[in-house]
Amino acid sequence: MTAAPAGEAEPERARTGLKAQTANVLNLLDRPLTSYYLVIGCTLLLLTLGLTMVLSASSVISLKNTGSAFSLLQKQATWVALGLPLMLLTAMLPMRTFRVLAYPIMLLAVLGLALVLVPGLGQSAGGATRWLSFGGGFQLQPSEPAKLGLVLWGADLLARKEKLRMLTDWKQLLIPLLPGTGLIVILVMLGDDLGTTLVLFVIFLALLWVIGAPMRLFVGVSALVLMLTCILIVVEPYRMQRLTGFLDPSGDPLGAGYQSNQGLYMLGSGGWFGTGVGEGRAKWEYLPHGDTDFIFAVLGEELGLVGTLIVLSLFGLLTYAGLRIARRVRDPFMRLAATGITAWIVVQAIVNIGAVINVLPITGIPLPLVSYGGSSLIPTLIALGILLSFAKREPGARQALAARGPGPGARVLSWLGLGPR
């Protein structure tokens, strides 16, 4: 047998090496704790990027308003310091705890959304009444925990019906899931919060999709959601201004199209690698809401195309991890809740980023884990803790964790009698 010519041997070795590397990556993704570590890693990296960008975007306005460039960063860091232990605590809880808590969370969310509409308690910002004010500068946005309540309540409801084999009738798919979702949506819409309304509808549709709703029912509900969205846009002048500003940003560059134009300019000026952290111009009050709704534009200006692609990759990996958990767990409740949580976080990120790059109208919802704000951050971290809890119930995950030994969080819960059984 003759040896291959030298010119042919090099490409052959390159192909063999590529196949080996691909096999290694696939083997890594097939490990029992892959989802668990992906959720933790993506969460921590996005939180780190978020804290950095909040400081950069808010330093000038914080200095102007409070005399300290770090005031908003300190608040965000406080919420992160509160949210991370809650995420780890949630990850240690057994599945039955989430099913028990689903109904109280749902009821509290409805109560909170109703209180927002009470004059003197509800606070308006950006055209929407979405905040509860408790005095002393402490505010809460009940629509954020409402997303968590809808996911857990809807997943538990459909899982119970599936166990009783009641989902052969399309009415059982919608009742009482549709009225419950409708109640939350109506309360949110009475506060003029269209962005959160869309996310709630996405959670509802994700639950229907996973449970296997007939395509005609799914399409019909989707069409109804689209029609209601169009009506809500038409009847509210400021939403129509946002829509016209989206369709024609140059038509009113100093009015309806100003924020969108500035966001695109900041993204474009970042180039490949950005101007450098803290060196952007958006923070000098050129870009409205640069620390919240348009923080992705600040990130693009200071970290460039590379920074934006890193953020997109992290959300892509988070999507993969969430759907992997939903596919691998055996319990219907976990499958439904994992899909609902993944849809909530990822679609919210898509809507936020889509508004910044001007492929979607501006809705005023934050970028998960990155934007400033504790009302959004803490429920999101709790939801990710639930994903971690489910990830530990994937095939082989318990054995892998047992071989690794209990962490400090598990030991504390064991002492308190709250550990998984």
3-class secondary-structure state, position 271: coil
Residue by residue, DSSP assigns 174-242 as: HTTHHHHHHHHHHHHHHTT-HHHHHHHHHHHHHHHHHHT--HHHHHHHHHHHHHHHHHHHHH-HHHHHH
Considering its fold, how many domains does the chain have in total?
1
Q: For residue 18, is it within any domain? A: no
How buried is 17 (Cβ within 10 angstroms: 0-12 exposed, 13-18 middle, 19+ buried)? exposed
**The pLDDT value given to residue 192:** 72
The per-residue pLDDT for range 128-149, each reduced to its tens digit, is 667 777 665 667 788 889 999 9
Q: For residue 165, is it within any domain? A: yes
Angle at which helices 295-328 and 34-66 pack, to 10 degrees? 160
Q: For residue 412, is it within any domain? A: no
Q: For residue 17, is it within any domain? A: no
327-345 residues labelled b (16+ CB within 10 A) or e (exposed): ebbeebbbbbbbbbbbbbb
The residues, any chain, with a CB within 8 Å of residue 142's CB and separated by 6 or more, are: 109, 112, 113, 115, 116, 130, 132
Report angle CA 295, 298, 304 to the nearest 5 degrees.
Answer: 125
Q: For residue 419, is it within any domain? A: no
Residue by residue, DSSP assigns 347-411 as: HHHHHHHHHHTTSS-----PPTTTSS-HHHHHHHHHHHHHHHHHHTTSTTHHHHHHHH---HHHH
For residue 414, count other CB atoms closer than 10 A to its CB.
13
Taking the model in full, what pTM does it have?
Answer: 0.87
Quote the CA–CA distance of 265 and 249 in Å, as a whole number: 12
Q: For residue 330, is it within any domain? A: yes
Quote the CA–CA distance of 367 and 377 in Å, as a whole number: 9
Low-confidence stretches of the chain (pLDDT < 70) are 1-29, 122, 124-129, 134-138, 236-239, 242, 245-257, 404-421
The per-residue pLDDT for range 338-380, each reduced to its tens digit, is 999 999 999 999 999 998 888 888 887 899 999 998 889 999 9
Q: For residue 155, is it within any domain? A: yes
Domain extent, residue 224, equals: 36-398
Q: For residue 196, is it within any domain? A: yes
Nearest by Cα to 95 from 327, 334, 325, 324: 334
